[in-house]
Amino acid sequence: METVEIKTRFGRETRRNAVLIVNPKSGNTRSLMTIAPAVEALSNAGYAAITFTTTGPGDATRIASEYGGDCDLLVLAGGDGTINEVIRGIMTVERDRRPCLGYIPMGSTNDFATALGLPKRVDLLIDNAVNGVPTPIDVGSFNGRHYAYLASFGAFTDISYSTTQESKNALGFLAYLGSGMNSIAHIRPNPVTVLINGEMITDEYAFAAVSNTPSVVGVINYTKQGTVDLNDGLFEVMLINYPENAIEVSRIAHALSTGDFDGCELMHRHTCSEVKFILDEPVDWMLDGERVEAGHEVTIKNIHSAVRIKLPAPEERRSVFGKAPIR
């Protein structure tokens, strides 16, 4: 059926409109099992829904861009990469026409779902995606390319996204931390100038992250020092100096394991709404788990309250970080 015909019929519905986007490859095709119960939940909640399954990279972005302005709710079943694509799509829609998002995480890592405090059971995820509380969150802009929650380069990054959640749980934090620290040996020193909050800092970094999440790549836990607000217009920025010897490696490992970043002179935490990186040598960045090539200069901006997403009520949000749920 042609796109115009679908949108014409979609727009004539008297009920609220919803779009369901399913990445059939997520969770080893487990995502396909969410279609029937999700459509049923949407219908019971008074939505007229149309369903799309993606066939390749970029599909979710295209669908969200084409249909986002004509629906009230856009539900997606997929992983971190799928929600990254969906957010990129709806960010092309005028702000006052952007739909609320419902997220049914079906990927292998689902780090963003953990940051949002979503439940684990599929039935509860579907119910939340349809009936949860619409909650605004910030979105990142990486040289104009939108992302959901994390832009990073250097050590740890590849390990986080190449390791399944099941493996992470089996390994435990210390083993996972050990793998991350070992990856530093493969990082070459690269002078980087960082422009942040009116300050210019030049140093060699083994890792850098600009995030909107309580936990970064499985080893940096911000909530040990207080709650992270996903809608305050600010990003958390973590810069880790390149260690020159085994003693400095152990200091970084100790700070990561205790959450005492202020006590380690090699780790630097900032909050900001905009940050610029100028690199002597370009590096590959990861945006929500997707590798992205960038040049010598990268500007990252926080777009405050850019999208709304369905979340459990605050008292019901699952937190694996040991402190209060996200605000």
Report, as residue numbers or ranges, the catalytic residues: 290
Provide the 10 A C-beta neighbour count for residue 262. 11
**Token pair in block for residue 231:** 């809608």
Contact by Cβ (8 Å): 87, 102: no
Sign of CA dihedral 298, 259, 203, 163: negative
**Ranges of H-type helices in 19-79:** 35-44, 59-67
CB atoms within 10 A of CB 263: 11
φ/ψ region of 46 (left if φ > 0, alpha if ψ in -120 to 50, else beta) reads left
| CA-to-CA separations, 292 to 143, 145, 151, in angstroms, rounded | 11, 10, 10
Q: Is the dihedral of CA 283, 285, 291, 295 positive or negative?
A: negative
